[in-house]
């Protein structure tokens, strides 16, 4: 009987502790907490809308595409569609120039704002996946 009472107290304590956890999922380890795309008002070739990504699944897709991007040789002459800000959990921000366009046959371009002479090309598959991701947020 003594053990039954102890077991009931333990179950209730576990239930209360479990219920007090926030419903928001914790950000995944190593992933940024926010990616913001801000339209470049000087590049009005295509319609553009600012977008924020704060869900870990969307951030993971963006970061995987960035990590797979391939370095472009030579100096760049490019136009910027978006200013991308990647905010990490500890508050640091990395900024990129980011161009994607709407053409599904065009690869995206990523340039770290700290070194604008070096660019990175996103694969066509990743570029189209990011276009769909942005379009879902805009719709």
Q: What is the pLDDT of residue 1?
A: 52
Per-residue pLDDT tens digits for 1-54: 554 443 444 434 444 444 433 333 444 668 999 999 999 988 766 678 999 999
- Tokens 């003594």 belong to which residue? 2
In 3-state terms, what secondary structure has residue 35? strand
User: In which band, very low, low, confident or very high, does the pLDDT at 56 lie, cut at 50, 70 and 90?
Assistant: very high
Average pLDDT over residues 108-130: 94
Per-residue pLDDT tens digits for 67-95: 999 999 888 888 889 999 999 999 999 99
pTM of the model: 0.76
Which runs of E-coded beta strand occur in the chain?
34-39, 51-53, 70-71, 82-87, 93-99, 109-112, 119-121
Q: Strands across the sheet with 70-71, in order?
A: 51-53, 34-39, 82-87, 93-99, 109-112, 119-121, 70-71
- Tokens 């900024």 belong to which residue? 95
């Amino acid at each position: 009987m003594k053990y039954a009472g102890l077991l009931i107290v333990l179950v209730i304590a576990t239930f209360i502790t479990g219920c007090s956890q926030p419903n928001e999922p914790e950000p995944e380890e190593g992933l940024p907490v926010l990616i913001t795309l801000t339209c470049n008002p000087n590049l009005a070739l295509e319609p553009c809308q600012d977008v924020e990504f704060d869900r870990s699944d969307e951030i993971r897709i963006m970061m995987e595409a960035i990590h797979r991007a391939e370095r472009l040789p030579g100096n760049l002459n490019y136009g910027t569609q978006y200013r991308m800000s990647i905010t990490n959990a500890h508050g640091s921000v990395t900024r990129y120039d980011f161009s994607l366009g709407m053409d599904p046959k065009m690869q995206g371009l990523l340039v770290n704002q700290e070194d604008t002479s070096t660019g990175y090309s996103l694969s066509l598959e990743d570029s189209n996946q990011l276009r769909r991701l942005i379009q879902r947020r805009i719709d």
